[in-house]
């Protein structure tokens, strides 16, 4: 399945945001992780079987524009509310993976009355000395499959889908895409992915489900317990045979866990 897509004007034309849209049912906004999102994502397709999904690309990703004015967590949090406003949605279900989970949790903490149902899939945002988050920014491409996937061979195939990096044109495209994406993500995650979220989590009022891949080597599953400990009533669902890219490795299990929000 390929999602429909359109470019959305956000914040009085300051930013342009690509939004993928699919499915029918109650509205759900999905915020992607550091890796971004493609319109043929199997996770998007799985979400679309239950909900009317809107998945905006963060500026710096795809052809979304305006990253230069998004310097910190507050700016990104407000931007994400601006996107929901521009879509004309009223308190949709909010789901985020990894970096997107960090943003979704911030939104729910900053404006607790605006977020009623919250799905956090392996969110970043906390720092635990005994369970350090891996340093994504110094990883070599060949180190990524084992870091991000339960099944490194599957990971390798998925990450290689962009084409042969020995081809200079493909390499240039890859380097520029990777630079734009991680330059943006780095403003929230570099060098330590902690922007004070732990001090604000108590404010969250949303019904919350936290989902974690059992073999997450990027953000250890202990972070899931820490999120649930800090958010009143949050429920933790651990998914077997999945790493940090649980959305790609076990999309239906993640969707089944999120269905508890309905």
Partner 1 sequence: MRFIWFNLMPWPDLPEDFREKYRSVWVDIPSALYDPARGHEVYNTYLDQLEFAETVGFDGLGVNEHHANAYGLMPSPCLMAAALARRTSRAALVVLGSSIALYEPPIRVAEEFAMLDVISGGRLVAGFPVGTSMDTNFAYGRVPDLLRERYAEAHELIRRAWAEDAPFVFNGRYTKLRYANCWPKPIQKPHPPIFIPGGGSVETWDFCVENTYNYSYLSFFGYLRARKLMEGYWQRVAELGADDSPYRATFAQIICVAETDAEAERLYGPHVSYFFNRCLHVFPGFAEAPGYRTVKTIQAEFLRQLARPSLGEGAKLSWRELIELGYIVAGSPETVRQRLEELIKTLRVGNLICGIHVGDMPPDKTRHSTELFARKVMPQLKGIWKEYEGDERFWIRPLEKRAVPGSAARSVPA
| Residues forming the site for partner 1 (CB under 8 A) | 67, 71, 137-140, 143, 168, 172, 175-176, 178-184, 186-187, 190-192
Q: Which two tokens stand for residue 187?
A: 């403003």
**Gap between the Cα atoms of 144 and 16, Å rounded:** 30
Nearer to partner 1, 73 or 239 (CB): 73
Q: Cβ of residue 156: shortest distance to partner 1, in angstroms?
A: 18
Q: Name residue, tokens 């931007």.
A: 79
Q: Cβ of residue 192: shortest distance to partner 1, in angstroms?
A: 8
Looking at 139-259, list the stretches that DSSP marks H as alpha helix, in order from N- to C-terminal side.
Answer: 144-148, 152-159, 168-189, 222-230, 246-249, 251-258
- Give burial (CB, 10 Å; 0-12/13-18/19+) of 11: middle
Residue 89's CB is within 10 A of a number of other CB atoms, namely: 16
Nearer to partner 1, 160 or 175 (CB): 175
Nearer to partner 1, 35 or 249 (CB): 35
Nearer to partner 1, 78 or 236 (CB): 78
Q: Are 108 and 92 in contact (CB under 8 A)?
A: no
Q: Cβ of residue 203: shortest distance to partner 1, in angstroms?
A: 26
Nearer to partner 1, 147 or 256 (CB): 147
**Gap between the Cα atoms of 187 and 183, Å rounded:** 7
Q: Cβ of residue 179: shortest distance to partner 1, in angstroms?
A: 5
Q: Cβ of residue 184: shortest distance to partner 1, in angstroms?
A: 7
């Amino acid at each position: 399945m390929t999602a429909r897509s359109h470019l959305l004007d956000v914040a009085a034309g300051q930013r342009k945001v690509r939004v993928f849209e699919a499915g029918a049912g109650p509205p759900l906004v999905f915020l992607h992780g550091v890796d971004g999102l493609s319109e043929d994502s199997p996770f998007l397709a799985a979400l679309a079987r239950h909900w009317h999904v809107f998945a905006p690309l963060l500026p710096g990703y795809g052809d979304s524009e305006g990253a230069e004015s998004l310097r910190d967590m507050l700016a990104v949090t407000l931007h994400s509310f601006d996107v929901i406003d521009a879509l004309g949605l009223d308190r949709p279900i909010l789901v985020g993976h990894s970096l997107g989970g960090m943003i979704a949790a911030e939104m729910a903490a900053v404006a607790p009355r605006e977020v009623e149902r919250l799905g956090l899939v392996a969110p970043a945002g906390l720092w635990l000395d005994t369970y350090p988050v891996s340093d994504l920014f110094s990883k070599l491409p060949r180190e990524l499959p084992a870091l991000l996937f339960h099944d490194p061979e599957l990971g390798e195939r998925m990450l290689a889908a962009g084409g042969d990096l020995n081809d200079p044109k493909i390499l240039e495209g890859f380097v520029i895409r990777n630079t734009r994406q991680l330059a943006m993500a780095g403003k929230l995650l570099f060098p330590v992915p902690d922007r004070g979220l732990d001090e604000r989590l108590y404010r969250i009022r949303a019904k919350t489900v936290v989902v974690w891949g059992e073999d997450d080597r990027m953000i250890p599953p202990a972070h899931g317990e820490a999120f649930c400990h800090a958010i009143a009533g949050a429920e933790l669902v651990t998914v077997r045979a999945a790493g940090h890219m649980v959305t790609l490795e076990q999309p239906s299990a993640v969707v089944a866990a999120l269905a508890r929000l309905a």
